[in-house]
Structure 1
Amino acid sequence: MKDIPVHLLKERASSGLEINRFFKGDKPKADEPLGAHRDDHYIFFVIEGGWGSLMVDFNEIVIQESCLYYVLPGQVHHRIQNEGAYGWFIAVDTMLIPPDYRNVFENQLLLQQPYTLNDVQKRQCESLLNLLFERYREDEQAVFNLSVVHSLLQSFLGIAAGCFSQTGKPGMLMSRPVQLAQDFKKLLVEHVRTIKSPSAYAAKLNVSETYLNEALKKATGLSVSYWIQQEVILEAKRLLYYSQLNVKEIAHALGYEDHAYFSRLFKKAEGVTPLAFKADYRK
């Protein structure tokens, strides 16, 4: 039995970002996935007009004019049906999303419905995305261009996080697997540098390792070990990009005494060495 395919952003974009406009009636490209799949990154949609739909984890999501919507890493979804919709598609490496924003997006797991932008918010998003798209298409080698692109992206992500932070409904009951998944992810972000063992996280959550794994698979479709590795690599990428630490220092900061082992782990996950990743993102 074939597993659900996971599509990797690094295979399409070297800057941690892909942004495109789509129009009414656009047909899928020859290499574009049509069936159910997961992504290892966030996807945001901003609908400027018309309406479309997509299936996300067995739920049909209808997105209309002025809507903002996102798909989390690991969620199973199909290509957007946009016969009558036009707008923006933005794929973002999790590394580029600040932890505070991630908390907002991931805590919407049950309430993850499109957000309707008001006129001011829509105008701001459209202006920002047009400028981001212009800079994104410019020569990557231009001085500071990648920094400008990432700064504009941060502004868009801040607007999106601000919108969705207003949509929570206090008192809404979560299923046990969803609540456990959210508690686990919070612990993981806090302890990823020192704890890599699924059983240790299970102990902190007062459940068995088997139960935690079952809950994660039910809520996210992926195992505890998968999410631990994703968070380790994410933290490594942040340190490689934002800090002045060398690879050996980063390995030690993440709890690996053997920096050669850490480098092999990173290359297996990302397809490039830590040094190559750092060079690509800082060029």
Structure 2
Amino acid sequence: MVLKIPVIEQCTVSGDMQQGIMVEDLAGYLARNKNLIFPHRHNFYHLLLFTKGGGKHTIDFETFDIVPWQIYFMSPGQIHSWSFEGEMDGYVVNFDKDFFKTFLLRPDYLGSFSFFSGFVRDEVFTVKEAEREVIVDTFKRLRTYVRDVDFAHISLLYIFHLLEKQRDLPSPLQEDIYNRTLLRNFLNLIELNYRSLRLPKDYAALLYITPNHLNALCQEVLGSSAGEIIRNRVLLEAKRLLVIKDYAIAEIAYELNFNDNSYFTKFFKKGEGVTPEEFRKKHT
């Protein structure tokens, strides 16, 4: 049994898409996609800069108040919805998962930017005033010359670097680079295996390190144990599935590799504080 989650395809919402990328003003994008308010996930990268407007938007069940000059990044697979208020404006960029594949030597390069960490807490922030003019100008140029794929690659990476620089993150030491690479590999492995591998020792073996090393690394960088990170990923997927009302709780438990429905319910309530049914009622 394979569950089908509402996935918004790039071609469905992107209109005049060129070679795997779309750049559009927010007002025009919303006018074309006025019914896109239900929880859904994309199969592409999605970033949005607000320059005007208000309301709320939610990414993986974390809700944010919209303010001008807020920007958010979403990776493929994350669930989001929005509720806008007033006159909205800004810029939207959608690009395919493989957009940088032939342009960058390292296919995992996007993961080096903090806002592509996979954690919602890193994906939403405010653009500092000193960077606003140059970032808007770059968005305008990117929209004008989006058919030039090399220009689009370079411009988008330029925006990423400007935004990463303005976050004032400390430069990592060599040891930090090694540990963060390990952590990124751990998170990637969870993404691939969370349905079947639930123990830190399984992931530590795949990374050729000890479970103690893995746990210490997770505690130091993320403030959670390796086991908690694995369980949180399973819990997140359960929440994503629960907002789609067509599937029974037992079906979701089966998809996530729980032995029975009652065990899944206990797992969910321990992590979220409510039963799956209560969570679904609240979010749908």
* TM-score, with length taken from structure 1: 0.54
Structure 2: where are the runs of 5+ without partners? 101-106, 172-181, 215-227, 241-284
Question: Which position in structure 1 is the counterpart of 2:125?
Answer: 115
| Among 78, 86, 95, the residue aligned to 2:81 | 78
| Pairwise CA distance, 1:221 | 5.8
Assess, with a 3 A threshold, how the Cα gap between structure 1 residues 131 and 29 changes in structure 2: closer, same or farther. same
1:1-283 matches, cutoff 5 A: 3-9=4-10, 12=14, 13=17, 15-23=19-27, 26-27=30-31, 29=33, 32-79=35-82, 81-96=84-99, 99-103=108-112, 104-107=114-117, 109-112=119-122, 114-136=124-146, 140=147, 145-164=148-167, 166=169, 184-186=186-188, 201=203, 203-204=205-206, 215-219=232-236
- The 2-side partners of 1:9 and 1:202 are apart by 36
How many matched pairs? 197
Equivalent AA in structure 2 for residue 216 of structure 1: R
Say whether the 8 Å CA contact 1:47–1:65 is kept in structure 2. Answer: yes
| Pairwise CA distance, 1:68 | 1.8
SS state of the match for residue 5, structure 2? coil
- Percent identity over paired residues: 16
- For residues 94-125 of structure 1, the C-alpha deviation after alignment (integer angstroms, 9 at most, x for no partner) is 33466343232243615236322222210011
| Pairwise CA distance, 1:18 | 1.5
SS state of the match for residue 77, structure 1? strand
Q: Which moved more, 1:109-118 or 1:127-136?
A: 109-118
| Pairwise CA distance, 1:14 | 5.1
Assess, with a 3 A threshold, how the Cα gap between structure 1 residues 213 and 43 changes in structure 2: closer, same or farther. same
SS state of the match for residue 88, structure 2? strand
Please provide the CA RMSD for this pair: 4.3
- For residues 14-58 of structure 1, the C-alpha deviation after alignment (integer angstroms, 9 at most, x for no partner) is 52211111239954536x533110112221111223334212222
| Pairwise CA distance, 1:184 | 2.6
- The 2-side partners of 1:41 and 1:112 are apart by 18
Q: Which moved more, 1:113-122 or 1:124-133?
A: 113-122
- The 2-side partners of 1:149 and 1:106 are apart by 19
- The 1-side partners of 2:170 and 2:124 are apart by 10
- The 1-side partners of 2:21 and 2:150 are apart by 12
Equivalent AA in structure 2 for residue 4 of structure 1: I
| Pairwise CA distance, 1:75 | 1.5
- The 2-side partners of 1:167 and 1:78 are apart by 32
Q: Which moved more, 1:114-123 or 1:101-110?
A: 101-110
- The 2-side partners of 1:105 and 1:73 are apart by 13
Structure 1: where are the runs of 5+ without partners? 169-179, 224-283
Say whether the 8 Å CA contact 1:74–1:222 is kept in structure 2. Answer: no
- The 2-side partners of 1:113 and 1:202 are apart by 27
Say whether the 8 Å CA contact 2:59–2:120 is kept in structure 1. Answer: no
Question: Which position in structure 1 is the counterpart of 2:263?
Answer: none
- The 2-side partners of 1:119 and 1:6 are apart by 35
| Pairwise CA distance, 1:10 | 5.2
Assess, with a 3 A threshold, how the Cα gap between structure 1 residues 185 and 5 changes in structure 2: closer, same or farther. same
- The 2-side partners of 1:133 and 1:102 are apart by 24
SS state of the match for residue 79, structure 2? coil
Say whether the 8 Å CA contact 1:52–1:63 is kept in structure 2. Answer: yes
Assess, with a 3 A threshold, how the Cα gap between structure 1 residues 105 and 51 changes in structure 2: closer, same or farther. same
* TM-score, with length taken from structure 2: 0.54
- The 2-side partners of 1:39 and 1:68 are apart by 17
| Pairwise CA distance, 1:161 | 3.3
